Structures are given as C-alpha cells and as structure tokens.
Amino acid sequence: MEDKGSNKALNFLESTGLVQAYKYLLTSLCEHGLPTGDLYEFSALKINGSEIRKKMEGKTKANKAKNSSRSFAN
C-alpha cells in the first residue's frame, strides 16, 4: 500500500515535469554514454533542455487552442 504523502510527492514531480526531465536525462546517458566532462554539467544541460522543450510544447498547445477558437469566431 502506498503512502498518501509519497503519492502526493510523485504527482507534484510529474506535474512540474521533473519526472520527464529525469527520464530524458537517463535516456541521453544510455544513448551517448557517460560524458567525458563533468557529469553534473551534462545533467544540468539536459534537464534545462527538457524544461525549455516542455515550455515550447505548452506555448504550441496554447497557440493551437487560440487559433482554433479564432476559427470558430469567424
């Protein structure tokens, strides 16, 4: 049986995109292997890229919704 607190924490992590960013980081490490440089810097860049991608997807969805509502108004 899962704890309500851990379930709440997982929901928070998923809603903020951290779970997706973590999965993206692990996938990148599997595809490219460990970086020759600083692992923390590599991780930060990948997670930052994941955050930027999530924001762009949100903007794209908002623009599509805005455009579709305009087409109904015409």
pLDDT digits (tens, 9 = 90+) for 25-34: 888 888 888 8
| pTM score | 0.56
- Distance between CA atoms of 58 and 64, rounded to whole angstroms? 10
pLDDT digits (tens, 9 = 90+) for 8-58: 988 998 888 888 888 888 888 888 888 888 888 988 888 888 778 777 887
What confidence score (pLDDT) does residue 7 get?
87
Indicate the domain borders of the chain: 10-71
What confidence score (pLDDT) does residue 72 get?
58
Taking CA 49 as the corner, what is the angle to CA 34 and CA 61, rounded to the nearest 5 degrees?
140
CB 40 within 8 A of CB 62: no
Place of tokens 């108004």: 73
